[in-house]
Structure 1
Amino acid sequence: MMKQTVVRWTRRQQFLLSLALAGVLLGGCAGVDSRGEVPTVAAVDLSRYVGTWYEIARLPMWFQRHCVDSRAIYTLRSDGAVGVHNECATDAGERDQIEGVATVVDAKTNAKLNVQFDNWFARLFGSSREGNYWILDLDAEYRTALVGTPDRRYLWILARTPQLEEPAYRRLVELSRSVGYPVDDLVRDRRPAP
């Protein structure tokens, strides 16, 4: 027959346990963004969105830390997903590239996609959270785009041409600021002028 042990907590132990639980709960709330959901464009025609986009500025992901001249090439795949080819010239004069696949998360707008890259990190730790590529702004001619992550950690200002006129750039920066991205940390690409 098993002997049952009754654990009796002192008031001090109860207080310390309550304090620890409150810390865990508050710590979990710290990751919740109180600014609300990031707004996306109403609709994206993926057949117009595919092609080459030049990165003008970014809040970079870790693998972009050495990039100075980046571009992304998107293609429509037969399975309905979007092929992603990212490449950049690095500050050491080398060329980095990575392949990935973007799947639509919000089929109503096509403005929220989940991108998974084919690299050791993704294979080891799995894909990033759903909807990590949100199209926040897209001009009517599909010449400029603003893309960000819903947690406001990463952001990309993109254009169909290697250079973007300053008024268009400023507009996208101010839009980013208005929805809560830390635009003071933006890194502009340093590609040579034409």
Structure 2
Amino acid sequence: MTMHRPFKTAVLALATTALLAGCAALGPKHPIGNSAVPEPAKPVELAKYLGRWYEIARYEQSFQKGCEGVSADYTLRSDGMISVRNACRKPSGKLSVANGKAKIVDPATNAKLKVSFFGPFYGNYWVLDHADDYAWAIVGEPSGRYLWLLAREATPTQDRIETQIARAKALGYDTSMLIRTKQP
């Protein structure tokens, strides 16, 4: 019996999804830093959000273990999606770059996106809050296991950092879990 191409593709996609879900279930879970993640505080003007962001602090994740000099670049694609380029310097000194794409899933606010670095697999990316002038942003997702504090400057003032950490705490995050990111 010969399978039709769409059927083969569907079977392969289902098998891959099942394998990844199984691996995720067996692997260690990151701790939850917020058991009641709030909805994003305000809408995002996409044109103002695009560009370069520097990571100021994060909840440590295996894919970012030991990363320093972390930055993210967002640019609008011709198809309406967003190109994502994440870069970090690993402890070995090697630059690690991950290229992906994002799509807006809440066009009423532009604050909820799905990001993919691996083909058809997308993860949540919520802009939970941001400065009115887009000098900083707080990014998370519904499980409360991920949190990033971003800024337009690689080394913002200590007052600005403390204000941003206080805002993350007000959103319900355990800020003692934050790891400060070293920027060059």
Give the TM-score of the pair, scaled to structure 2: 0.76
Could you tell me which residue of structure 1 aligns to residue 165 of structure 2?
Answer: 173
Q: Work out which of the residue numbers 140, 143, 146 in structure 2 matches 1:148.
A: 140
Percentage of identical aligned residues: 38
Could you tell me which residue of structure 2 aligns to residue 12 of structure 1?
Answer: none
> Does 2:163 correspond to 1:188?
no
Could you tell me which residue of structure 1 aligns to residue 121 of structure 2?
Answer: 127
Kindly state the Cα deviation for residue 136 of structure 1 after the two structures are TM-superposed. Answer: 1.3
If asked which structure has higher relative contact order (CA below 8 Å, sep 6+), I would say 2
Paired positions, count: 153
Q: Find the residue that maps to 1:184 and give its secondary structure.
A: helix
For 1:39 and 1:175, locate their aligned partners in 2 and report how far apart those are by CA, in whole Å. Answer: 14
Q: Which is further off, 64-73 or 37-46?
A: 37-46
Unaligned runs of 5+ in 2: 1-32
One-letter identity of the residue aligned with 1:71: S
1:28-77 alpha-carbon deviations (Å, 9 max, x no partner)? xxxxx995441313211111111110111111332101201100000001
Q: Find the residue that maps to 1:181 and give its secondary structure.
A: coil
For 1:34 and 1:154, locate their aligned partners in 2 and report how far apart those are by CA, in whole Å. Answer: 9
Instruction: Name segments (4+ residues, structure 1) moved above 3 Å.
Output: 33-37
**Does the Cα contact within 8 Å between 1:152 and 1:180 map onto a contact in 2?**
no
Could you tell me which residue of structure 2 aligns to residue 108 of structure 1?
Answer: 108
Give the TM-score of the pair, scaled to structure 1: 0.72
Aligned-residue RMSD, C-alpha: 2.1
Change (3 A) 1:95 1:161: same
| Correspondence 1:30-109 to 2 at 5 A | 36-109=36-109
One-letter identity of the residue aligned with 2:155: Q
**Does the Cα contact within 8 Å between 2:35 and 2:144 map onto a contact in 1?**
no
Could you tell me which residue of structure 1 aligns to residue 156 of structure 2?
Answer: 164
